[in-house]
Amino acid sequence: MDGYTSVGKRVPQRDAVVKVKGSAIFTKDIKLKGMLHGKMLRSPLPHARILNIDVSRAEKLKGVRAILTYKDTPQIKFSISPTWADKLPLESEKVRYVGDEIAAVAAVDEDTAMEALDLIHVDFEELPAVYDPSEAMKPGAPIIHDAFENNIARVINMECGDIEKGFAGSDLILEETFTTQAQSHSPIETHCCVATCEPNGQITVWANSQAPHSLRQRLSYALGVDASKIHVITPFIGGGFGSKIDLEPSQAACVLLSRKSGNPVRISNTRQEQYMFTRLRHPTIEKMRIGVNRGGKIIAKEARVVMDNGAYNSHGPAVLSYNNVMFSTLYRVENIKYEGYLVYTNKNWGGACRGYGDPQVTFAQESLLDMIAEQLKMDPIELRLKNANNPDEVTANKVFITSCGLKETLKEARDAADWAEKKVNKPRHRGIGMASMIYTGGGSIGSGSNYSGATVQVNADGTIHLMAGAVDIGQGSNTVLAQMAAEILGVDPDNIRLTTADTDVTLPCMGTFGSRVTLCAGNAVFQAANEVKKKLLEEAAEMLEANKEDLEINEKRIFVKGSPGVSVTFAQVASAVHYKKRKTLIGHGYYNGPEVVPKDFDPVSYRGYPSPAMVFGTHIAEVEVDPETGRVDVVNFVAAHDLGKAINPLLAEGQIEGGVVQGIGWALTEEVKFENGRILNPSFHDYKIFTIEDAPKISAILIEPIDPNGPFGAKGIGECAMVPTAPAVVNAIYDAVGVRIKDLPATPEKICKALKEKSTS
C-alpha cells in the first residue's frame, strides 16, 4: 500500500452528474442579450485566385448587422507558431481548399445569415489543384504557397550511428511502404464561439478550446489586439481529440463581427461544417526499412515519410517532427535514419489529432516488425522484448528515458490475452496480433514551451479553492487535479472547489494536449498545494503553541500528533489569518519542466526531444474475419499501459478504453473521402465511427513505474491509448487469414481483394 488517501483511488468524475442530467453549460448554451448569429462564407473551389468580393446585396438584406471581408481584418497570417504562419482569418488573394474562409456575416438569426452568404458574389480565377502529396512534390506541380518550392513546407533529415554499416551487418532486411488515411476527430460537440466587444475595447470570448490561454495569445496576434484586452472562458467541452487546440478563423471572425456590429455574436458549426471544414489527422506515405541479426536484435532502421499537410500548416511541422521522434526512440537501435517531407496539397489542412503523428509511424513500424518476426520464425512479443527500451537510458537520437515499463506491458498483456495458447490453438479465421508504442508522457520541456500554472487558496471560511489553467475536455483532469490537492491538504476531493480554463482567473497553461496535463498541471498543483499546506501548518503551530513538525492534517482539521483533541480547523486558521493578520492563505505553482533544454536538442528534427517523461504500452487484439465478406470483428482486446502512478485508475481505464475504440475505428472504418478536394462523407451516417455497440471487451492493464519527474510519480495516458491499436488489429487480421493490409483502413473490400490475389498467386 502507498498510504495515500485520495491519490490512486477510483474517484468518479466530478462533473459526471451534471453532464448526465443535462445541466452542464457548453458554449452553444450561452445566450446573451442581443446576440447575433454568425456564418462563414467558404470557398467552393480547391484552388483559385480571388478577383473580387461583392457584399453589396448582402448588406441590404433585412436582419444583417455586419459583414466582414479581408479588408476588415489586420491581414496577419497565423499558425501555432509565427515561424509557420501561412493562414489568414479571411483570405484576400487566393483560396487553397474547399472551405477556405472568404467572408463572414452576422445577422439576427441563422437563416438570415445563410441567406446573406448566398447574396455575396465572389469572382474567382480557378487554378490547377493538386491533391496527392507525392504529385505535389514533383517539378511542374501547381504551387500552393509561392514561398515554398515543390510545395514542401518542412524537411527533416536525421541520422544516428552509421546507417549503411548497420544494414551491411544485418542478417535480414525487410522494406515495405505503408499508407495511412485522413481521420476526422468527430467530437460530439462541434466548434462554437461566442464573443462580445465592449466600447472600451475589452473582448470576452467563450470558446470550446483545449488551450484558452494559447487562444488568447493567438487572437491577440492575429487581430493585432493587446492580450490584456482579451478574456477567454472555456465552458464544458464535448470532446476535442486535438481538434480544438488551434485558433479557428471563425473565432477571429466572431470577435470582429461583434466589434463591427456592437452586439454579442455566436458562430457554431453544423455537423456537416464540422466534417467538411475543420482539420484532420495527417495522411502519410511511409517507406520503412529494418535490418536485424539472426537473434532478432534490430541493427538498423530507416524511414522516408511523406506527410500530407493539406492547404495550411497548423501543427504540421511539429507532427512531422513527432513522427520522427516516436519512430527513432522506440526500441534500442543504434543506427537510425529518418527523412521526412511535409507537403502542401489543396485539401483540408491537417492538425493535431490524438497521437500527434505517432499512430501513423507506429502502424508502419509495428507491422514491419511482425513481418520480420515471421521471417525469423520468432514470437512477435519475444522480438519486442529483445529490443525493448530500459529505464534511465539515453537513446541513439539523444532522448533521455526516465521510467520505462515497456517490458512489463509486453509481459502483462501477453499473459492477460492468453497469447501463447491462442497463437497455437484458435478457431479458423480467428487471429491474434500485437503492437507496442512509445509517446511523450508530459509534453516537452524548457524555454517556456511546456508551462502550466495553478493556485490554491484557503478562504476565510476554510473553503479550499483550486484555480488551474488546464482544461478538462472530458478526460477527467479536473477530478485528477482535485485528488492531488486533496491528498496534500488532507481533505476529501469533494472539499476542493475548482475554477479552470478562465484566462482572467487562472495562471497560464499551455493547453490540454500531448498527454501533458496530469504531469505538468499536476506538478503545478503539487507546488501550490504544498505551499498552502506549509502556511497552514505554520499558522496552526503558532495558534496551538506547537512545533510545525508535530502537526497533522485530517478532514480540514490540524491537530497535534497523538493528541487529536488539541486542534484547530481550517476555518479557524484562515479566519485568524484573514481578519487578524490581514494576510491570505494562498499558494502558487508553476511548472515548466527542467529549465535547461539539452544542448543536443534540434528544433527541426527533434533529436534530443526534451520530454520530462516517456510512456509505453502494448496492445493485443483478437479478431475474427469473414473470408466471404472481408468483415472484421474485434472480439477481444487487451491494452497494457505504463502511465507512472495512476492518480485515478478508474479514469485511466476509461481513457484506455476510449483510445482503443477510436483506434479500432481508424484501423477498420474511418476515412475522410475526397473527390477533387471536396469531402464526400461529411456526416455520422457516412463517416463510420465506432460506437459503444461496436466496442469489444477491453481489458485495461495499468503498469505503474514511479517517474521522478511526475507528481506522485504520474505520467500521461490520454493520447497514447490509441497509438498501437491499428497495427495490433492489422497484425491480427494477418494471423487470421494470412493477408497483410498495408494501406489503412483495413476495409472489407481491401481484405477480399487481398484474399482473392492470395488464392490466385
Instruction: Give 644-675 pLDDT, tens digit per residue.
Output: 999 999 999 999 999 999 999 999 999 999 99
Q: Residue 346's closest CA among 74, 110, 612, 151?
A: 151
Could you give the count of Cα atoms lying within 13 Å of 385 in the half-sphere of its Cβ?
13
The full DSSP string for 531-572 is HHHHHHHHHHHHHHTS-GGGEEEETTEEEETTEEEEEEEHHH
Say what the pLDDT of residue 747 is.
98
* Fold agreement (16-23+451-592, 284-445+599-760): yes
Task: Assess contact for 47 and 312: CB atoms under 8 A.
Answer: no
| Mean pLDDT for the stretch of residues 276-301 | 98
- The β-bridge relationship of strands 697-703 and 632-642 is parallel
- 473-522 per-position pLDDT tens digit: 999 999 999 999 999 999 999 999 999 999 999 999 999 998 999 999 99
Class of domain 31-127+189-238+244-277: alpha beta
- 135-169 per-position pLDDT tens digit: 999 999 999 999 999 999 999 999 999 999 999 99
- 106-130 per-position pLDDT tens digit: 999 999 999 999 999 999 999 999 9
Fold for domain 16-23+451-592? Aldehyde Oxidoreductase; domain 4 (3.30.365)
| Mean pLDDT for the stretch of residues 712-725 | 96
Say what the pLDDT of residue 480 is.
98
- The β-bridge relationship of strands 203-207 and 192-197 is antiparallel
Position 23 confidence tier, pLDDT thresholds 50, 70, 90: very high
Encoded amino acid at 97, one letter: Y
Whether pLDDT at 52 is above 60: yes
Q: Residue 329's closest CA among 233, 377, 401?
A: 401
Beta-bridged to residue 588, according to DSSP, are 455
Average confidence score pLDDT of the chain: 96
Position 594 confidence tier, pLDDT thresholds 50, 70, 90: low
CATH code assigned to 284-445+599-760: 3.30.365.10
Domain locations along the chain? 16-23+451-592, 31-127+189-238+244-277, 284-445+599-760
Which letter, b or e, does each residue of 529-552 get, where b requires 16 or more Cβ atoms within 10 Å of its Cβ?
Answer: bbbbbebbbebbbeebebeeeebe
Position 255 confidence tier, pLDDT thresholds 50, 70, 90: very high
What's the CA dihedral at 691, 692, 697, 702 to 10 degrees?
90
Say what the pLDDT of residue 409 is.
98
Say what the pLDDT of residue 295 is.
98
Encoded amino acid at 550, one letter: D
Say what the pLDDT of residue 595 is.
60
pTM: 0.97
Which cell numbers in the block locate residue 444?
Answer: 516537452
What's the CA dihedral at 146, 150, 153, 159 to 10 degrees?
-150
Position 596 confidence tier, pLDDT thresholds 50, 70, 90: low
Say what the pLDDT of residue 575 is.
95
Say what the pLDDT of residue 672 is.
98
- 180-223 per-position pLDDT tens digit: 999 999 999 999 999 999 999 999 999 999 999 999 999 999 99
- 378-417 per-position pLDDT tens digit: 999 999 999 999 999 999 999 999 999 999 999 999 999 9
Encoded amino acid at 230, one letter: I
Whether pLDDT at 636 is above 60: yes
